[in-house]
Amino acid sequence: MAISINYLREEIKECFLDLCSFPEDKKIPLDVLINMWVEIHDIDEKDAFAIVVELSNKNLLTLVKEARAGGMYSSCFEISVTQHDVLRDLALNLSNRE
């Protein structure tokens, strides 16, 4: 798996490695992750969201959509990111090497 991470563009790899800074088995609110990347990597929100989509398409993170509290007719959703424990451990291991 580490080899496939090395084929990511550097900016995307750095964002993948940032995921290990969140607690294991916790949902990461999408807006928190995007805001973090905007500040740390000096990218705009559109690019940060594109990175989320690319990591999701490569199965390096999972997008989770949940209905917000507010009734069954509410059209608001909370979008979070999760990551498999093995992928988080890989990110942690790779970030410790750098």
Residue 5 pLDDT class (50, 70, 90 cuts): confident
Domain hosting residue 17, numbered range: 2-97
Q: What is the pLDDT of residues 11-28, one digit of tens each?
A: 999 999 999 999 998 999
In whole angstroms, give the CA distance from residue 97 to residue 86: 17
Calculate ∠ Cα 96-58-11, nearest 5°.
50
- Beta-bridged to residue 66, according to DSSP, are 78
Q: How many CB atoms lie within 10 A of CB 75?
A: 7
What is the pTM assigned to this prediction? 0.84
Residue 95 pLDDT class (50, 70, 90 cuts): confident
In whole angstroms, give the CA distance from residue 58 to residue 44: 21
Residue of 74, 53, 57 lying closest to 4 (CA atoms): 57
Q: Are 55 and 23 in contact (CB under 8 A)?
A: no
Name the domain count of the chain.
1
In whole angstroms, give the CA distance from residue 19 to residue 28: 9
Q: What is the pLDDT of residues 61-93, one digit of tens each?
A: 999 988 766 666 656 678 999 999 899 999 888
pLDDT of residue 50: 97
